[in-house]
């Protein structure tokens, strides 16, 4: 549609304090390299076991992609029997219209995490 969408892939650390610092650095990177108001996707393994990074990401203008009305995050880890939602997609200027996690033996063999897939549309 002629709109440039920026993407950042992240893999944050295992310790909460370092994840918070990494989110702060991520915010500084976005501030320096992504035009204000430009659509943005930040996705990856956030290792956020306690699900405490949504607020710091929101402070940076990003919201967690989720289906409207969804009450629970989609688990992606461990891939064989997923119980934790460690993988995330955060967006700015985009709306999530579909989200899923493919499952099965083939997916579980590829990684210790399952992929998190989202269909996003530009906000108008």
Query: HEC states along 50-66?
Result: CCCCHHHHHHCCCEECC
Domain containing 76 equals 6-122
Each residue of 56-85: pLDDT tens digit?
Answer: 999 999 999 998 888 778 999 999 999 999
What's residue 44's pLDDT?
A: 97
User: Per the domain annotation, does 116 fall within a domain?
Assistant: yes
Please provide the size of the chain in residues.
124
Closest Cα partner for 99 from 51, 41, 49? Answer: 41
User: Per the domain annotation, does 1 fall within a domain?
Assistant: no
What is the Cα–Cα distance from 84 to 71, expressed in whole angstroms? 15
Could you give the percent of the chain with pLDDT greater than 90?
Answer: 90
pTM, rounded to two decimals: 0.94
User: Per the domain annotation, does 24 fall within a domain?
Assistant: yes
What is the Cα–Cα distance from 40 to 50, expressed in whole angstroms? 24
What's residue 124's pLDDT?
A: 80
User: Per the domain annotation, does 81 fall within a domain?
Assistant: yes
DSSP annotation of 75: P
* Helix spans in 1-124 (H): 16-33, 54-59, 105-110
Chain Cα centroid distance, residue 9: 9
Residue 82: which CATH number? 3.60.10.10
The angle subtended at Cα 72 by Cα 10 and Cα 111, nearest 5°, is 40
User: Per the domain annotation, does 73 fall within a domain?
Assistant: yes
Place of tokens 């990177």: 29
How many domains does one find in the chain?
Answer: 1
User: Per the domain annotation, does 50 fall within a domain?
Assistant: yes
What is the Cα–Cα distance from 124 to 94, expressed in whole angstroms? 9
């Amino acid at each position: 549609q002629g709109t440039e969408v920026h993407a950042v892939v992240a893999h944050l650390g295992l310790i909460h304090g370092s994840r918070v610092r990494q989110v702060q650095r991520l915010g500084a990177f976005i501030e320096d390299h992504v035009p204000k108001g430009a659509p943005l996707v930040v996705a990856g393994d956030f290792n956020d076991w306690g699900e405490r990074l949504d607020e710091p990401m929101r402070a940076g203008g990003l919201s967690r992609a989720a289906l409207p009305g969804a009450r629970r995050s989609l688990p992606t880890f461990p891939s064989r029997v997923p119980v934790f939602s460690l993988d995330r997609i955060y967006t700015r200027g985009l709306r999530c219209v579909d989200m899923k996690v493919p499952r099965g033996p083939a997916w579980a063999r590829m990684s210790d995490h399952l992929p998190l897939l989202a269909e996003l549309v530009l906000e108008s």
